[in-house]
Structure formats: structure tokens, C-alpha cells
Amino acid sequence: MNLCHLACKYHPCEHIVIKVASSQVKYLRSLPLHHSQQETSTTAEYSIFEYDLKPTFDFEQEILSHREDFEVLQPQSFRDKIKAIVKEMYQRYMTTVG
């Protein structure tokens, strides 16, 4: 049993929608992030993938590891969480070191 399944057993799952740059679509098709992954639309520039899961720390890290190639579209609360992490990283790198 995977961690996402355990998390959903004790907490309600969320419907997560992610926009993925076309350069990463084949990768995601071959190595799904979760068993609930569904590709719901495709264009030349990107694809939309949807999941039903409880977003864990590991899932957040996976999203962030794909940098600008992944964009969380829904739910707004998860989008805001990823945005806050990226904002904190940006602010940290904007300060002068030394």
C-alpha cells in the first residue's frame, strides 16, 4: 500500500489538476505520479493531468522538482501552497550573501 493511499484512507482526497509542459508529457505518461493519474487534455504546448489524492510532502516535492514544467491549477489551496514555497525560495535567493 502506498503513502498516498494511506493518506486518503484517513483524510479526504483532493482533486488535483496539473498543467505539464509538452517536454515532460512522455515522461509522466511512462512514470505516473499516482495510480489515479488521468490525462484529460493535450495541446502542442502542454497536457492536463488530474489526480485524486491527498497531497503529501513527497507529492509536493515531486511537483517542485519539475520546476517551471509543472503548474498546479487546482485546487486553489494546493496552488497557493506551492506558490508560497516558490515565493520563499525566490526571496531567499534575492538577498545578498556575504
pLDDT in tens, 1-25: 344 555 556 667 999 999 999 999 9
Q: Is the pLDDT of residue 71 over 60?
A: yes
Q: Is the pLDDT of residue 97 over 90?
A: no
Per residue in 24-34, is it b (16+ CB within 10 Å) or e — as a string?
ebeebeeeebb
pTM as predicted = 0.84
Q: Is the pLDDT of residue 73 over 50?
A: yes
CA distance 75 to 51: 11
Per DSSP bridges, beta strands 14-21 and 46-53 are antiparallel
Q: Do 22 and 57 form a contact (C-beta atoms < 8 A)?
A: no
55 or 97, which is more confident: 55
Q: CA nearest 73: which of 20, 19, 25?
A: 19
